Structure 1
Amino acid sequence: MEQMRKRLPTLPSYENLPTLKSLSHTNLREVSEKLTPRWEFLRKRIRIRGNSKTSVPLYVVLLFPAIILILVLVIFVRHPDSPAGRLIPSGAPPSIRKISEKYDKVFTTGCLDPKKEVNAPRVNAAFVVLARNKELPGVIDSIKSVERHFNQWFHYPYVFLNNEEFNSTFKETIRNYTSSPVEFGKIDPSSWGYPDWVDARVAKEGIAKQGDAAIMYGGMESYHHMCRFYSGFFYKHELLLKYDWYWRVEPDIKYFCDITYDPFAAMVKANKTYGFTIAVKELKETVPNIFRYASAYKRVNNITSQGLWEMFVEPKPEKEKIEELPKGDPKYDKEKPLPEDILRGEPGSGTLPEIDPEAMEGEIYNMCHFWSNFEIARLDFFRSKEYEDFFTMMDRSGGFWMERWGDAPIHSLAAGALLSPSDIHYFRDFGYRHTTIQHCPANAPARQMPRAPYFGTPDMNAIAEARHRAGDSSMKKELAEEEEYWAKWDDVKENGVGCRCRCDTDIPEVEVKEGSCIPEWVEIAGGFVTPQGPG
């Protein structure tokens, strides 16, 4: 055995082995000469072919496939579309955090094939647009965005409402931009303006004072009417009575992502009641007393929170540990000192707790609300006796005139009192912008699909032809430019949920912006399930 051991070569130490770095700076002959005698067999030359005169050392034959294998693995892991690349931690948490799915989750991550989805039964639903004749350009932009990103596949109807009659130009133009059914309705004076029980002169003075105080939209009489209409009357309009669901559309809004599934059907399937995509804080000066009345409604009707109300109230501070009072002293034998005891005591000792003038039932409104210029909701929620009682109480307070109450906090506080977190859906996959606030998700990895051009479908060809006959030949060029723009969607990101999104870059994402109420939503929805990442 000893003789056999001596004959067998022993392995060299790792210091004597050649490295890839050293190989890159030396030629084969130099490497060959550096091999230790014990590894002399690696210098044995091997012919490339059986009768070929060309030969290479054995170690080259062994190293070459190993290097190729390493390169392939590196390319595979680092490729952005590689499943392995997504599974291997990058060293830092992703910038987009996942939200708990305890009560709610994204209906569809990334894209589906809308051609397969359109064969499913439709929900009894419609888009609702409140607009005036002079807002036609902004309405056109909104309809174009809705049609391009969603309704070209699903063809849900539109209901347009106005406190005046729509003119023929408005109606004809709107019909040129959609092949879906369209209805136009006028709002009854009983739903718009000052009710009989309000002193119009006093109400107008209140509105004028808000204008003098430079409260945003506070001095606009029509804005107060609009907020009251959307708070307690839109769902009663005769054109909406036949529908079960609605999707609100405002002039001058913009969608950034393709919506390749039916959100109405998804809401029904998940047993949801109300859906939002942006939640922000209201301006305090517009609603100084709204929470007093909302809280009073909740108290008078003995309503216990189902978990959503907490989204709209400031978190209660932790109770400070009360120092133990001296025992044996009659002054401190009672659980709480009486007023006469306080008067006899030292100033500041045994005082009653301070009362916050803004607190109701020990709660303070944090100004959060779902931004209702986009909302998808069940109309029977608004038509319920509970909501009607809530609206009546808020309406009778005079806050729609003497203050500038918006429909957003009205809808939100009613939902907080009457609904639970599981009734609410956050459309995190919807990219949406109104004025200077936008939410736009990152695109979902490995969930993007090619999209057929919007311009070129039978519907759009018919609309373009109608525009051409009317003397406007610019539509085809306009649509071609838009198609080129939307064909270049943003890169995918880890934890992204969007489908073919292309976000505007001139304003920041509201989800992580100061004044956003998504942290409050996340708190009551179960919290984040991934750590905070960069950016």
Structure 2
Amino acid sequence: MAIARPVRALGLAALMMWIFFLYTILKPTPGLVGPDKYKTFERDPQLDPLEEPEGKLWRATEDYAPDAKNPARINATLLALVRNEELEGMLQSMGDLERTWNSKFNYPWTFFNDVPFSEEFKKRTRAATKAECRYEVIPKEHWEVPSWINDDLYKESVKILKENDIQYADMLSYHQMCRWNSGLFYKHPAMENMQFYWRVEPKVHFFCDVDYDVFRYMQDRNKTYGFTVTIYDAPKSIPTLWPETEKFIAQHPEYLHPNNAQLWLTDKTRRPEHWEQANGYSTCHFWTNFEIADMSFWRSKVYEDYFNHLDRAGGFFYERWGDAPVHSIALGLFEDKSKIHWFRDIGYQHIPFFNCPNSPKCHGCTKGKFYDGEPFLQKEDCRPNWFKYAHMD
């Protein structure tokens, strides 16, 4: 039996409306899918021609010689947590940083290890610099698993982390390292008289000649923290870090700085799946394998209280809280965001990410490069959010 033409028209119209309804719900939102989703600035500022910072800069003079009687150096050090077996990678990093910067200023190197350094390590690192080298062992009470961590719960937690493909989840030393880098390194007696440090990891590259004293720059401009790369963290490694932070804020609302970067920490538009899995935290963080910082912030009552709260919560072991999100959250909430500085002029690589300025002083990296590999790594770049919610300094 043939269906009447009006009925067919009505059915076709209903079908079209249903298709339109599904399309409205499921259609890709412009600018929120594919590679373009992550291009949230019109032009990457790293592509712009680079000039040195304005204002007075401290240049290399005889006062920066290794044996200067009245050195221009301030209380600062190059800091590396490194194992004996990572010697070759450390020499790589030292060679680059000495060539591009420290051979002019001769700031001391301070090496940390949880065991004594070998004579070969000492001999070869001393030969890589004219500056003083210091070799320190981390106190056992700073490295050991704290007494309040339940070993059975830790083991069960590791299984869950491994099921979620969290890197280094079953390496106890990695958890210990994250905790030490978060809140204990600056308590070592060797750091007692130091105010600033520049963290240097094995197997990193420095590409650009920097001709001014960056520690003096930090001091003269009243900067607390300097970074080169900011990216997203693995949300399943830190599911309770933000909830614990919110508990801390509820207890100490007075600690929030009026010019904070909380919107950078809580943005959910660019990576909503991260925000959801991290329970309200964007997972944006400064990649702390490079950081230049004033330890006065870490030594403050605000940060000490925050670190102790997190330490007691156990997430350094029951989850895989890293020093990067811990430092970044603390800076983003409790410090003036104008005191956080992007060292755009320091060319840096820790595979797969770059900070590669557009400058004739940079050699060996592609100008304006941020990542090494497939374009999908662009989504890990959190600089657009920093520029949006904080500032360009």
User: 359, 374, 377: which is aligned to 2:290?
Assistant: 374
Q: Which structure 2 residue ranges, 5 or more long, are not aligned?
A: 1-41, 66-70
Match of 1:516 in 2: 381
SS at match of 2:189: coil
Query: In the TM superposition, what whole-angstrom CA distance separates every residue of 1:155-201 from its partner, at most 9, and x where no partner exists?
Result: 00011000011111111111111111111011111111211122233
| More moved, 113-122 vs 236-245 | 113-122
- Is the Cα–Cα contact under 8 Å of residues 117 and 262 in structure 1 kept in the other structure? no
Partner Cα distance (1:256, 1:220) in 2: 32
Name the aligned partner's letter for residue 258 of structure 1: D
Tell me the secondary structure at the aligned position of residue 266 of structure 1: helix
Pair 1:309-2:262 in alignment: yes
Tell me, in whole angstroms, the C-alpha distance in 2 between the residues paired with 1:134 and 1:212: 29
Cα contact 1:212–1:219 (8 A) shared by 2 = no
Contact 1:293-1:394 at 8 Å conserved across structures = yes
**What SS does structure 1 have at the residue aligned with 2:87?**
helix
TM-score, normalised with respect to structure 2: 0.78
1:420 to 336, 353, 366: 336
What percentage of residue pairs aligned between the two structures are identical?
Answer: 35
Instruction: From the two aligned structures, give the one with the greater helix fraction.
Output: 2
2:248 paired residue among 297, 302, 307: 297
The alignment partner of 1:521 has SS state of helix
Kept in 1, the 8 Å contact 2:63–2:72? The answer is: no
Is residue 81–residue 201 contact of structure 2 (8 Å, CA) maintained in 1? yes
Task: Report 1:446-525 matches (<5 A).
Answer: 500-505=361-366, 508-510=369-371, 513-525=378-390
Aligned length: 334
1:7-26 aligned at under 5 Å gives the runs none
Please tell me whether residue 189 in structure 1 is matched to residue 189 in structure 2: no
Deviation, structure 1 residue 289: 1.4
232, 242, 257: which one aligns with 2:183: 232
The separation in 1 between residues aligned to 2:195 and 2:239, in whole angstroms, is 34
Aligned residues of 2:236 and 2:278 also touching (Cα < 8 A):
no
Is this contact kept in 2: 1:203–1:401, CA < 8 A? yes
The residue aligned with 2:235 is 284
Deviations 1:303-345 (A, max 9, x none): 444232221111689xxxxxxxxxxxxxxxxxxxxxxxxxxxx
User: Contact 2:342 / 2:392 at 8 angstroms: preserved in 1?
Assistant: no
State the match for 2:96 in structure 1.
Answer: 145
1:435 aligns with 2:351: yes
Amino acid at match of 1:514: K
2:230–2:382 contact (8 Å) kept in structure 1 = yes
1:106 and 1:428 in contact (8 A); partners too: no
Shift of 1:206: 2.0
CA distance in 2, matches of 1:357, 1:220: 27
The aligned runs of 1:236-247 (5 Å cut-off) are 236-247=187-198
For 1:516 and 1:396, locate their aligned partners in 2 and report how far apart those are by CA, in whole Å: 31
2: distance between equivalents of 1:311 and 1:156?
33
C-alpha change, 1:116 and 1:426, in structure 2 (3 Å) is farther
Q: CA deviation at 1:285?
A: 1.3
What SS is found at the alignment partner of 2:73?
A: coil
One-letter code aligned to 1:424: I
Letter in 2 for 1:97: P
> Partner of 2:77: helix, strand, or coil?
strand
Q: Give the Å deviation of 1:106.
A: 6.3
- Per the alignment, residue 405 of structure 1 pairs with 321
User: 1:432 touches 1:439 (CA, 8 Å); kept in 2?
Assistant: yes
Give the AA of the match of 1:389. D
Contact 2:79/2:197 (<8 A) preserved: yes
Q: How much has 1:436 moved relative to structure 2?
A: 1.1
DSSP 3-state at the match of 1:275: strand
Look at both structures and tell me which one has the larger radius of gyration over its CA atoms. Answer: 1
Contact 1:131 1:139 in 2 (8 A): yes
Contact 1:117 1:261 in 2 (8 A): no
The structure-2 alpha-carbon separation of the partners of 1:164 and 1:282, relative to structure 1 and needing over 3 Å to count, comes to same
2:381 counterpart SS class: coil
Three-state SS of the structure 2 residue aligned to 1:513 is: helix
Cα distance change on mapping 1:316 and 1:212 into 2, 3 Å: closer
**Aligned 8 A contact 1:194 1:200 in 2:** no
Does the 8 Å contact 2:262/2:332 carry over to 1?
yes
